[in-house]
Amino acid sequence: MSLLPHAILILGTTAFTGCDRVETTSSPQDRELIAIAEEQDVRLAIHADSLQAEAGEPIELVVTIEAPPRQRAELVLPNDNRLGEFDILRIEDALDEATGLNVAQRQRILVSTLASGEIELPSIEAHYGSDSVLRTEPTRFMIQSLIEGDFDPSSFADIRPAVDDSLDSEREDWVVAALVTGGITLLALVAIALTMAARRKIRPRIPHEWALGELQRIEAEGPPIEGATTERYQRIETVLRWYVAFQFDIDAPDRTSNELIQAALDHEDINDDAHLLLERIVRESDRAKFAGGSISISECSTALGTARMFVKQTMVTDKEESA
């Protein structure tokens, strides 16, 4: 998978959640029912944690088909790993010993999208009987992009996207004039416009400056409130994953933790000390996300320092400045 189309949406945002796709079982009991379709004795239901997410953040869907065995009901998903504007990151069986006998199939599906706004998850189908089809209604998710919502003009200097050579000279002249004559407000508007127009074509000109700026932005928010420490830690991990993607061309945001750690171990520009720093943050995030562990405020603060240390140990200034 090419990193370039996925990398740009990260410019100006730190709220993505790193995606890990470890094997697990999932139950819909504590999730919100977001879509349902029923016909005869077949029922197709989709549960999700929430109808809101941030751009690039994995969304876990639990899709359950209830039907008697004679119906031979099964879930049918697109072959191109796409559901409308959502990418399918992972599909795994979520049946366990506690699953009722009436459940024909239960799948845990991780999806994400780099689009923002009100994004439609299209119908999901189940086939049963000889040629019958059951479809859920489309569901709309609110996908937030911090580029669009919470852009901070004062930190624009921390994010330096490369100028897109495909832009015509008229736009280049306009941008130059705006930067020379405009104030902070106009500068912010230009930055947002350029980022939104070219985010599928560019990456930060200097990845380590981008990453350090994002970490500084997180730190400037102050200590996380009680109950938000895990989210804060995952935001730090996400910055690190995207920095690895930008700096080393490793598809870090879409790798499992084990895959990412192995890829970092194999990369010649990531030494053993840096590798241990990366692994420390990724494993601790896993513990919080999948093992029910808790993250303390001090651990969030330590993670910021660890992330900075990783970036500083792995930045390759001469390569970046010639990019």
Residues 311, 211: contact at Cβ < 8 Å?
yes
What integer pLDDT is reported at residue 99 of this predicted model? 63
Q: Which amino acid is at 263?
A: A
What integer pLDDT is reported at residue 61 of this predicted model? 93
What integer pLDDT is reported at residue 321 of this predicted model? 46
Q: What are the start-end ranges of the H helices in the chain? A: 4-7, 146-149, 169-181, 184-198, 207-220, 229-248, 257-266, 272-290, 297-314, 317-321
Residues 116, 143: contact at Cβ < 8 Å?
yes
What integer pLDDT is reported at residue 280 of this predicted model? 93
| Under-70 pLDDT residues of the chain | 1-30, 96-100, 145-203, 317-323
Q: What is the pTM of this model?
A: 0.42
What integer pLDDT is reported at residue 50 of this predicted model? 87
Give per-residue pLDDT as tens, 269-316. Answer: 999 999 999 999 999 988 887 777 788 999 999 999 999 999 999 987
What integer pLDDT is reported at residue 112 of this predicted model? 85
Structure tokens at 60: 């876990």
Which residues in 22-46 are b (16+ Cβ under 10 Å) and which e?
eeeebebeebeebbebeeeebbbbb
Structure tokens at 188: 């912010």
What integer pLDDT is reported at residue 97 of this predicted model? 59
Task: Give the angle subtended at the CA of 201 by the CAs of 312 and 90, to the nearest 5°.
Answer: 80
Is 227 exposed, middle or buried (CB count within 10 Å of its CB: 0-12, 13-18, 19+)?
exposed
Structure tokens at 274: 């840096």
What integer pLDDT is reported at residue 28 of this predicted model? 66
Closest CA to 75 of 128, 28, 38, 112: 128
Closest CA to 111 of 98, 95, 92: 92
Residues in CB range of 194: below 8 A, 6 or more apart:
161, 164, 175
What's the longest Cα–Cα distance across the chain? 73
> How far is it, in rounded angstroms, from Cα 272 to Cα 276?
6
> At the topology level of CATH, where does 32-144 sit?
Immunoglobulin-like (2.60.40)
> How far is it, in rounded angstroms, from Cα 233 to Cα 63?
29
Task: Give the angle subtended at the CA of 19 by the CAs of 18 and 21, to the nearest 5°.
Answer: 150
What integer pLDDT is reported at residue 199 of this predicted model? 39
CATH number among 1.20.120, 1.20.1640, 1.25.40, 3.50.30, domain 205-323: 1.20.120
**Domain ranges in the chain?**
32-144, 205-323
What integer pLDDT is reported at residue 127 of this predicted model? 93
> How far is it, in rounded angstroms, from Cα 70 to Cα 259?
40
What integer pLDDT is reported at residue 180 of this predicted model? 53
Q: How far is CA 7 from CA 18, 87, 201, 268, in A?
A: 13, 14, 9, 22
Structure tokens at 160: 């330096």
What integer pLDDT is reported at residue 243 of this predicted model? 92
Which helix (H) or strand (E) element contains residue 169?
A: helix 169-181
User: How big is the chain by its Cα radius of gyration, in Å?
Assistant: 22
Residues in CB range of 77: below 8 A, 6 or more apart:
83, 88, 91, 109, 124
Give 53's strand partners: 143
Q: What are the start-end ranges of the H helices in 3-159? A: 4-7, 146-149
> How far is it, in rounded angstroms, from Cα 41 to Cα 137?
18
